[in-house]
Amino acid sequence: MPAPGRTGITAVMNLARFPRRRYTPFATPIEAMPRLSAALGGAELWIKRDDMLGLGGGGNKTRKLEFLMAAALAEGADTIVTMGAPQSNHCRLTLSAAAKEGLACRLIIEERVAGSYRTDALGNNLLFDLMGAASQRVVPLGTDIAAELAAEAAAVRAAGGRPYVIPGGGSNPLGALGYAACALEIVEQSFGMGVVFDRLVVASGSAGTHAGLLAGLVALHAGLPVTGINVRRPRAEQEGNVHALAVATAALLGTPAPARDEVVALADWVGPGYSLPTPEMVAAVRQVAALEGILLDPVYSGKAMAGLIALVTSGAIAPGERVLFLHTGGSPSLHAFAGDLR
């Protein structure tokens, strides 16, 4: 493999063709988790610290927003319109990016669990207020979100503004380029560290992170399989969503599309539903905090870590396998789940 920054590796996937804002001026660290590995007694576990990405509070949406905000600015937008659930990390980070760029930001909040949105909630909901959301409009689960986003954009135009609509999670092919770039970062770090990973594990939600990683790793011929841990949908539905977006992302990149059988999004740790706590999630969040001093979140990285722990302890991930866990961030929402985590 060519050394990082030299000809060969970047030629496989020319991301420089796409305008990009840089919100993180460094590669996020890859760290060993020796105490957790020893406690579980199986695989050798490592963690990619995307909770350290730039913008307010960090997390995986920052990588997507680097490409999406560049497109918004190129179009002369003055208002970002997006959506997410209560405690949405995506909404928090989109607000942060909009504030940094001097743009207004309007939020549509999809209440996926009835009664879960409270204007006085802590966590990300508090940060929506601190970062100056221009508006927050709550709609129930089952609402036609595409129509709501279009209506919000039309309202901005009617008031003389120039909107740019970002889908939930920033998960379209342009946003997924952020994780194709992360795939390149991981391959370069692996080479630089002299550490070969056997598997990458990541939370799989709105699909952009999972799909972007797959598209990037296939383009780079990395030979690194990705195991997604689903946080919302049944396995077949989520795998279909991830594959469709990975194919579209590869088409945007002009690189080979991942095969359907390369998409794995296990659904055994979703529990009763999206954002609803599970005993396994609570145990995983507490164990990683106590053993490694790393804060996971209850909705995404906590459930993904619960899945990873179960795969290791059951032997589904073989002893001695070297596994990289991608930390997607989200710890600012921990305070909103204090009653469940204590």
Annotated catalytic residue 88: yes
Length of the chain: 342
Nearby residues of 67 by Cβ (< 8 Å), 6 or more positions away? 18, 19, 20, 21, 174, 175, 177, 178
d(CA 198, CA 188): 15
Is the CB of residue 305 less than 8 Å from the CB of residue 324? no
List C-alpha distances in Å: 278 to 5, 92, 126, 233, 269.
Answer: 43, 24, 24, 15, 8
**Which residue of the set 88, 275, 331, 333 is catalytic?**
88
Distance CA 78, CA 277 (A): 37
User: Which residues make Cβ contacts (< 8 Å) with residue 237, sequence separation at least 6?
Assistant: none
User: For the chain, where are the E strands, in sequence order?
Assistant: 30-32, 44-49, 79-84, 104-111, 135-140, 163-165, 199-204, 226-230, 265-266, 322-327
Rounded to the nearest 10°, the torsion over CA 111, 115, 117, 122 is -140
Residues marked active site are found at: 88
